[in-house]
Amino acid sequence: MSWTATTRYGLEPAPAGLALVQDLLNTRSAGKPRRPDLLQTDEDARTWLDQALRSWSDETRRPAPGIELTAEDVQGLRDFRDDLGRIVQAPAGDPTPGSGPATSLLTLPTGLRLDEHGVIHAEPRGTGWRQPASLALIEAYQAQSTDTLRRLKACRNPRCSVAFYDRSRNNSGVWHDVRVCGNAANLRNHRARQRAVADQA
């Protein structure tokens, strides 16, 4: 499996299909130094989506849906990604901070299918960007049901914002990489405290 958006930050992908949600979030221009936006152009977006769907299929052992993206669909997928990112970055109990609810998240179609083994599967519906967005929401919902969605976080460094899966025992991680972002933040805080002490002297 190759989750190209996530592994470019040296991160281990989230478990199961939640890796699709993480990878979509990590298509943003993020990190230190900043990496390019993988949904910037139509060609980039199609390349990322084809790879992500193959990885999702390998991970879940389910066939990947065939999805065609137009230029308008790419913009729709970027907007959905931004809405989803705001929810992942929100403090606990405040899923829609700022300017109100994320409108793209309220209108995505989903279907249920009963397979030959009696297992019910949620399946994405719609066309264009709505289909991969629906698939990402299905995976987020399933992760929520197993209480793993809360471990998908955005790096607290505002100059970074990489999406990472917190594997710490008590779910206390705040940096996608302590060495890259945590140490720098701790150094800034230390210098700020030193300046505050000097100003009071």
| pLDDT interval class at 93 (50, 70, 90) | very low
Cβ contact 161:89 at 8 Å: yes
CB atoms within 10 A of CB 72: 11
Tell me which long-range contacts 177-180 makes (C-beta under 8 A, separation of at least 24). 177/9, 177/10, 177/11, 180/32
* Per-residue pLDDT, 28: 95
Place of tokens 């199961």: 16
CATH topology for the 4-200 domain:
Jann2411-like fold (1.10.3300)
Choice between 65 and 105, residue whose per-residue pLDDT is larger: 65
Domain residues of the chain, as ranges? 4-200
> What's the first-to-final CA gap in the chain, in angstroms?
57
The predicted pLDDT at position 115 comes to: 87
**CA 67 from chain center: how many Å?**
19
Please spell the DSSP secondary structure of 73-116, one letter per residue.
HHHHHHHHHHHHHHHHHSPTT-SS-SSS--GGGGS--EEEEE-T
The burial of 176, by beta-carbon neighbours within 10 Å (0-12 exposed, 13-18 middle, 19 or more buried), is given as buried
Confidence of residue 58 (pLDDT cuts 50, 70, 90): very high
Q: What one-character DSSP code corresponds to residue 121?
A: E
Give the Cα-Cα-Cα angle 124, 60, 131 (nearest 5 degrees). 20
**Cα 185 → chain centroid:** 23
**What are 69-87's pLDDT values in tens digits?**
999 999 999 999 999 998 8
Is the pLDDT assigned to residue 60 strictly greater than 50? yes
